């Protein structure tokens, strides 16, 4: 009797070990990503202009300065995790825009003033000093201005694209009627 019970339990255990969750991998299965180690010293960064392929539309404000970009990790133009740095001169304006994915920004040097909305409005800017952090969800219209020579870091899931909000899509300012 005990022997029969052990044989029955052994059969149940064997049947449970051949479950659908342990089937052989499917032919079209994507292999797991290999871990990647990356270490980048600040002097090794290669700075350059923001690629035209990373922008859509026309900025609605004059930037009034210079912006340089360096890729720290990944490829921001493709799906997947990326890290990039931006370096801008004092007063540089980033026109209202939105991204298809969330954008996370950490201020490393200087200060970035961040505002939400479809038009550049200095009264809506909130200063983030060095060490500050901002996160903007996908499709949220926002804009920024560098205060002092600034370096910031952006990370997120690619592709990274700045979709500028054109003046035509922004609310029009109405003029007061001319007096006679």
Q: Is residue 92 part of a domain?
A: yes
Q: List, for residues 31-82, the tens digit of each pLDDT value.
A: 565 666 778 888 899 999 998 889 998 888 899 999 999 999 999 999 999 9
Position 33 scores a pLDDT of 59
Q: Is residue 167 part of a domain?
A: no
61-65, 71-75, 144-148, 164-168: least confident range: 164-168
**Any alpha helices (H) in the chain, and if so which ranges?**
2-17
- For residue 146, pLDDT over 50 is answered with yes
CATH number of the domain within which 127 lies: 2.60.120.10
Burial class of residue 9, CB neighbours in 10 A (0-12, 13-18, 19+): exposed
Task: Retrieve residue 64's tokens.
Answer: 């009034």
Q: Is residue 41 part of a domain?
A: no
Half-sphere CA count of 74, side-chain side, radius 13 A: 18
Q: Is residue 113 part of a domain?
A: yes
Q: Give the residue, 93 or 11, on which the prediction is more confident.
A: 93
Confidence of residue 166 (pLDDT cuts 50, 70, 90): confident
Residue from 95, 73, 94 nearest 82 by CA: 73
At residue 128's C-alpha, the angle toward residues 116 and 163, to 5°, is: 35
Going by C-beta distance under 8 Å and a sequence separation of 6 or more, which residues neighbour residue 54? 76, 77, 160, 161, 162
Domain that holds residue 73: 59-156
Q: Is residue 174 part of a domain?
A: no
Quote the number of domains for the chain: 1
Q: List, for residues 100-126, the tens digit of each pLDDT value.
A: 999 999 999 999 999 999 999 999 999
């Amino acid at each position: 009797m005990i022997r029969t019970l052990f044989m029955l339990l052994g059969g149940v255990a064997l049947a449970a070990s051949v479950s659908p969750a342990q089937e052989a991998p499917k032919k079209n299965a994507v292999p797991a990503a290999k871990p990647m180690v990356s270490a980048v010293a600040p002097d090794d960064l290669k700075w350059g202009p923001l690629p035209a392929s990373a922008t859509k539309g026309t900025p609605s404000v004059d930037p009034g300065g210079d912006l340089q970009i360096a890729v720290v990790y990944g490829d921001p133009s493709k799906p997947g995790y990326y890290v990039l740095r931006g370096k801008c001169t004092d007063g540089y304006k980033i026109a209202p825009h939105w991204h298809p994915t969330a954008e996370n920004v950490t201020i490393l040097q200087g200060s970035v003033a961040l505002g939400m909305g479809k038009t550049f409005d200095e009264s809506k800017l909130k200063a983030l000093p060095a060490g500050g952090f901002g996160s903007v969800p996908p499709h949220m219209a926002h804009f920024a201005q560098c205060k002092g020579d600034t370096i910031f870091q952006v990370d997120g899931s690619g592709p990274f694209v700045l979709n500028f909000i054109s003046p035509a899509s922004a609310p029009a300012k109405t003029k007061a009627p001319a007096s006679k």
